[in-house]
Amino acid sequence: MITLDSVTKVYADRGKHVTAVDGVSLTVDSGEIFGILGRSGAGKTTLLRCLNLLERPTSGTITVDGVELVSMSRRDLRTARQRIGTVFQHFNLMSSRTAAENIEFPLEVTGVGRAERRQRVTELLELVGLSDRGGNYPSELSGGQKQRVGIARALAGRPSVLLSDEATSALDPATTEQILDLFKQINEATGVTVVLITHEAEVVRRICDSAALMESGRFVEQGPLLQLVGDPDSRLAEILLPTGDHDLSIPGRHLTLAFADERAIEPSLSRLSRDLGVEVSILGGTLERVAGHQVGRLRVVYQPGQASDDAVIGYLRERGVTVTAA
């Protein structure tokens, strides 16, 4: 488990103070995939560098697996850092070493014996689907393959936490999907806790269990995705499952519906017209797989007829749909 309590990082930049991370508190459960979504300059990389202690926070505490990292001595920190693996946007591979030798490097640094290193590298190459590429140099690998090497290297020391800073931003959409699925597969196979930092909604939608929205150094929202998408007022939900621009000039009553289970919605809308005699039209919205569930957010309009608004809203809520008047 990872716990951050009021983590702040202030940089002194040519006489000015820049607060890159501003009082972030966060809990990531063991085995979870947690996404941090934010625009450029939001403070994501700074937060990640605090998490792996490449950067000391100005204040606040960071606890990984029950060990508080900020107050540690330099030497203890070196050991504690081995519990955390990091994957980078631009791979950061050594060009003079083969894929296998890049993966082996952190094991050499920590003094693992040669035979054990070789065995571990073979396992890791297989885990990331590169068994036939170990002898290739980075210049002979595609972007997706390089990132597979980066992921294997991050996992070499069997960390309990895997951090990723925009690991897929340099990749095309199809390769992005493959790398995200690899993160998920590794998470399921090894139980490693994953924290992904990204500016792409797709990354969060595809594999995260929980997420936070970061702006100007702060978390403006965070929680389990299924909970967030069921909240019609959630900004993160609107980014992940946009309902689109809403034309309020269309006559009728306008509602935003959110549901964390697809089975809730189709029969509910069709039964609504049958049971209450109300015709509902869908104006826009998104149905997507999120955190392993088919979830959705819809804008709908209906003509109030014989049924009252309370009856319509109550009918949908009883069937697990969250409803707000748009």
Ligand X SMILES: Nc1ncnc2c1ncn2[C@@H]1O[C@H](COP(=O)(O)OP(=O)(O)OP(=O)(O)O)[C@@H](O)[C@H]1O
- Give contact residues for ligand X (rule: CB under 6 A): 11, 13, 18, 20, 38, 40-46, 199
- Return the beta strands (E) in 250-292 as ranges: 253-259, 280-290
Is 46 a binding residue for Mg ion by CB under 5 A? The answer is no
From ligand X, Mg ion, none, interface partner of 145 (C-beta below 5 to 8 A by class) = none
Give me 260's structure tokens: 């964390």
Shortest separation between residue 212's beta carbon and ligand X, angstroms: 12
Q: Nearer to ligand X by C-beta: 50 or 161?
A: 50
Sequence-distant (6+) residues with CB within 8 A of 303 are: 251, 252, 253, 278, 279
Is 98 a binding residue for Mg ion by CB under 5 A? The answer is no
CB 154 within 8 A of CB 84: no
Sequence-distant (6+) residues with CB within 8 A of 56 are: 50, 70
Alpha helix (H) ranges present in the chain? 44-51, 74-81, 99-109, 114-127, 143-155, 173-190, 201-207, 225-229, 235-240, 265-276, 309-318
Q: Nearer to Mg ion by C-beta: 98 or 198?
A: 198
| Length of the chain, in residues | 326
**Cα–Cα distance between 319 and 259 in angstroms, integer?**
10
Sequence-distant (6+) residues with CB within 8 A of 174 are: none
Shortest separation between residue 38's beta carbon and ligand X, angstroms: 5
Shortest separation between residue 199's beta carbon and Mg ion, angstroms: 8
Distances (CA, A) of 140 to 133, 148, 245, 292: 9, 13, 46, 35
Shortest separation between residue 170's beta carbon and ligand X, angstroms: 12
Q: Nearer to Mg ion by C-beta: 171 or 241?
A: 171
From ligand X, Mg ion, none, interface partner of 97 (C-beta below 5 to 8 A by class) = none
From Mg ion, ligand X, none, interface partner of 278 (C-beta below 5 to 8 A by class) = none
Is 45 a binding residue for Mg ion by CB under 5 A? The answer is yes
From Mg ion, ligand X, none, interface partner of 199 (C-beta below 5 to 8 A by class) = ligand X
Binding mask 306-325 for Mg ion (x = CB under 5 A): --------------------
Give me 69's structure tokens: 């990292």
Pairing of β 322-325 and β 253-259: antiparallel
CB 98 within 8 A of CB 120: no
Shortest separation between residue 175's beta carbon and ligand X, angstroms: 20
Shortest separation between residue 62's beta carbon and ligand X, angstroms: 16
Shortest separation between residue 314's beta carbon and Mg ion, angstroms: 46
The piece of 37-45, 244-252, 278-286, 292-300 that touches Mg ion (CB under 5 A) is 37-45
Shortest separation between residue 198's beta carbon and Mg ion, angstroms: 10
CB 60 within 8 A of CB 5: yes
From ligand X, Mg ion, none, interface partner of 38 (C-beta below 5 to 8 A by class) = ligand X
Q: What are phi and psi of 323, to 5 degrees?
A: -125, 130
Is 147 a binding residue for Mg ion by CB under 5 A? The answer is no
Q: Which residue is nearest to Mg ion (CB)?
A: 45
Q: Nearer to ligand X by C-beta: 44 or 206?
A: 44
Q: Which residues of this protein are in contact with Mg ion, per CB under 5 A?
A: 45
